[in-house]
Amino acid sequence: MPNSLAEIAAIFRSRNHFVVMSHARPDGDALGCTIATALCLRHLGKEVTAWNEDGVPEKFRYLPGSEIVNRPPAEAQRFDVAIVLDNAVKNRAGKAAEAVAQADLWINIDHHITNEGYGDMQYIDATAPATGQILFELFRGHELPLTYAMADNLFAAISTDTGSFQYPNTTARTYEIGAELIRAGVNVGTLSQKMYESYPRRRLELLCALLNVLRFTSKDRVASFASSAEIAKKLGTQPDDTEGLIDYIRAIEGVVAAAFFEEIGDGRVRVSLRSKSPKINVSKVCGLFGGGGHMLAAGARVRGSLAEVQEKVLQAIDHEFDQP
């Protein structure tokens, strides 16, 4: 049965040794939530470890407290409580989850509708536009610490997962929380500049290369591009350089869905899908390939060549247009 935020707050207070983690290839929501939760627990006097399989990508090192998050060690460790945030499928936490030799309690806090409900305690709210919004309600609603640094991390989590408060699942409550975080000390101008106006030059060079292979399918209603390992090597791009590039083609007039395909090694392709219409449920499409996410934003990692995966996924999207 789902647990309440009050029950989770009680665990924060009563247990002593915690590990906090999220999914590999972390985005702003994943990292902001990991850091904010670790800081909260430290302010409660707890012993806290924070892991991510990929550590902290270069683009998120501006987050206060980011030095808390490390790559998991080779030797597994024991904890009282393992907290997994913004992670629909437990194995997406990768090596971070594998590095937990034993935990008396696993807590799963998430906002993905495809969350598989793992863990001893779960709080999953698919109506929340970001896991950061859930954590704000946990901290503020149950008299847990909420410091300046935590506020910055929660604002970054919510802003990045709502497209800077623009996506359809952004609610009045989301804006109210944004205002409360600003009152708690967030400098919106400074933080937003770091989030959205501090990209490395190689990211723009990658976008130029991708636009050269831009495709339109499904009667021009789907736009897609693909990044090969060769392109990434030539430009020296980092994995987090691709974050948000799909939004450029999603924004094209007449485009209903957008797809980004990226070779990630080991014979796999990372698929990112975005949709403007509930009629094209990209979570459903990604589910066909072992992935998931939200109705309008989802992803998967699919085995096969770049060309093979691209054709299969685009055909699956095209099929959605034919559904009544």
Q: What is the pLDDT of residues 18-43, one digit of tens each?
A: 999 999 999 999 999 999 999 999 99
Is 300 in contact with 292 (CB distance < 8 Å)? yes
Task: Report residue 301's pLDDT band, with 50, 70 and 90 as the boundaries.
Answer: very high
pTM of the model: 0.90
pLDDT (tens digit, 9 = 90+) per residue, 183-216?
Answer: 999 999 999 999 999 999 999 999 999 999 999 9
Domain 201-321 in CATH 3.40.50.300: no
CA 113 vs CA 87, 100, 276, 283: distances in Å: 11, 26, 18, 9
- pLDDT at position 2 is 81
Question: Where are the extended beta strands (E) located within the chain?
Answer: 17-21, 47-51, 69-70, 77-85, 100-110, 121-124, 215-217, 222-227, 257-265, 268-275, 292-293, 297-303
For strands 268-275 and 257-265, give the pairing. Answer: antiparallel
How many angstroms separate the CA atoms of 233 and 236, rounded?
5
Q: Structural domain boundaries of the chain? A: 5-196, 201-321
Give the model confidence (pLDDT) of 137-155 as tens digits: 999 999 999 999 999 999 9
Query: In this prediction, what percent of the chain has a pLDDT beyond 70?
Result: 100
pLDDT-derived band of residue 1, with 50, 70 and 90 as boundaries?
low
Which pair of tokens denotes residue 83? 């907290």
DSSP state of 238: -
Answer CATH for 5-196 from 3.10.620.30, 2.60.120.1570, 3.90.1640.10, 3.30.70.100: 3.90.1640.10
